[in-house]
């Protein structure tokens, strides 16, 4: 299992995924396939992709059959072309049939996130900017989807609400403004990884700079305005460097414009909430 994943937590997740799918039992497999039958299965890429989750794929079958034998031919982070086989398995035929859907769904989903992330990372190559994920993840799958982002070359933003302060539009409105929100946030400085505030215009940016936050999120600004905002941040004298983050309205077609505007981070919710599952198949034969 990758050191980026908690093996015990992943094992528990896989058990819960299988329980959801199996229900009271895989009645079709149990009535048509002998418990003594063994099978061989191989994963086949059907489209170009960045692989993510292949060890989790194999672990699904180990949960069902401790005697599962796995041959990994590719590893997470590798680019695959159609026809390539990243893994072969040998196990109880019942285990292969029962675990197929859960294992394949997970592999397709995570590889989709990694593939999408890699496309964004490639699009800004040569700039100082980094591609980050967000908390716009599937409930229950956050750790796995954020892992897939890292496999694709991206970085993780906050893992949860307790890791850092991120003051957004609704916080600002309820707190009474950018200055009031940032002043209140100083109470937890040192207890969180960073304090960040979202701004949507240059007036809000000026108010934010007076409090020297660690990160300023430039939300839904066009690249020319982002460039102007970054220049203001760089000119501002602060005890430590203030990072500039861009988010909102960012696509593969315009992401490089944002990167070249000088931001440090580019956070993209679509890495996880809109990544399409890649095309992979799992073909099983009698052993």
Task: Name the active-site residue from 76, 219, 245, 264.
Answer: 219
Which of 92, 77, 95, 91 has its CA nearest to residue 26? 95
The pLDDT score that the predictor gives to residue 17 is: 97
Give catalytic status of residue 193 as yes or no: no
Residue 182: the pLDDT is: 98
What is the percentage of the chain residues whose pLDDT exceeds 70? Answer: 99
Region(s) of the chain under CATH 3.20.20.70: 164-268
Is 168 catalytic? The answer is: yes
| Statement: residue 86 has pLDDT above 90 | yes
Distance CA 135, CA 113 (A): 14
The predicted structure's pLDDT at residue 8 = 86
Instruction: Classify 241 as helix, strand or coil.
Output: coil
What is the CATH superfamily name and number for domain 7-121+275-286?
Quinolinate phosphoribosyl transferase, N-terminal domain (3.90.1170.20)
Angle among Cα 102, 27, 15 to the nearest 5 degrees reads 35
Distance CA 71, CA 235 (A): 55
Q: Which of 196, 198, 214, 245 is catalytic?
A: 198
- Rounded to the nearest integer, the mean pLDDT of the chain is 96
Cβ proximity of 69 and 89 under 8 Å: yes
Catalytic option among 101, 135, 159, 227: 101
Indicate if the pLDDT at residue 1 is higher than 80: no
Residue 9 confidence (pLDDT) above 90: no
CATH topology of domain 164-268: TIM Barrel (3.20.20)
In which residue ranges of the chain is CATH 3.90.1170.20 found? 7-121+275-286
Please tell me the pTM assigned to this model. Answer: 0.94
**CB of 181 closer than 8 Å to CB of 171:** yes
To the query of whether residue 94 is one of the catalytic residues in this protein, the response is: no
The answer, yes or no, to whether residue 91 has pLDDT greater than 80, is yes
- Does 198 participate in catalysis according to the annotation? yes
Distances (CA, A) of 12 to 17, 90, 285: 9, 23, 29
75: left (phi over 0), alpha (psi -120 to 50) or beta: beta
Q: Is 133 a catalytic residue?
A: no
Per-residue pLDDT, averaged over 40-57, amounts to 98
Region 165-176: what's the mean pLDDT? 97
Q: Which two tokens stand for residue 17?
A: 């995924």
Q: Which residue out of 15, 168, 173, 210 is catalytically annotated?
A: 168
Is the separation of the CB atoms in 185 and 171 below 8 Å?
A: no
Residue range 204-259, pLDDT digits in tens: 999 999 999 999 999 999 999 999 999 999 999 999 999 999 999 999 999 999 99
Catalytic residue among 46, 136, 155, 227: 136
């Amino acid at each position: 299992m990758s050191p980026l994943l908690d093996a015990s937590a992943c094992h528990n997740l896989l058990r819960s995924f299988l329980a959801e799918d199996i229900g009271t039992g895989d009645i079709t497999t149990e009535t048509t396939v002998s418990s003594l039958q063994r099978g061989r299965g191989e994963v086949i890429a059907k489209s170009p992709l960045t692989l993510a989750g292949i060890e989790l794929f194999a672990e699904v079958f180990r949960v069902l059959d401790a005697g599962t034998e796995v041959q990994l031919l590719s590893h997470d982070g590798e680019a695959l072309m159609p026809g390539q086989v990243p893994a072969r398995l040998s196990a109880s035929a019942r285990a292969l049939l029962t675990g197929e859907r859960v294992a394949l769904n997970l592999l397709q989903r995570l590889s989709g996130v990694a593939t999408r992330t890699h496309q964004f990372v490639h699009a800004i190559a040569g700039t100082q900017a980094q591609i980050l994920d967000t908390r716009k993840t599937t409930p229950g799958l956050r750790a796995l989807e954020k892992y897939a982002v890292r496999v694709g070359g991206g970085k993780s933003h906050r893992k949860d609400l307790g890791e850092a302060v991120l003051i957004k539009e609704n916080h600002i409105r309820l707190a009474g403004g950018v200055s009031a929100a940032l002043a209140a946030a100083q109470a937890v400085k040192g207890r969180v990884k960073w304090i960040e505030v979202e701004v949507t215009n240059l007036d809000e940016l000026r108010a934010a700079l007076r409090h020297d936050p660690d990160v300023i999120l430039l939300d839904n600004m066009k690249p020319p305005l982002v460039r102007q905002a970054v220049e203001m941040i760089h000119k501002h004298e602060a005890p430590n460097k203030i990072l500039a983050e861009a988010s909102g309205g960012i696509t593969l077609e315009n992401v490089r414009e944002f990167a070249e505007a000088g931001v440090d981070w580019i956070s993209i919710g679509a890495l996880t909430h809109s990544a399409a599952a890649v095309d992979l198949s799992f073909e099983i034969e009698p052993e």
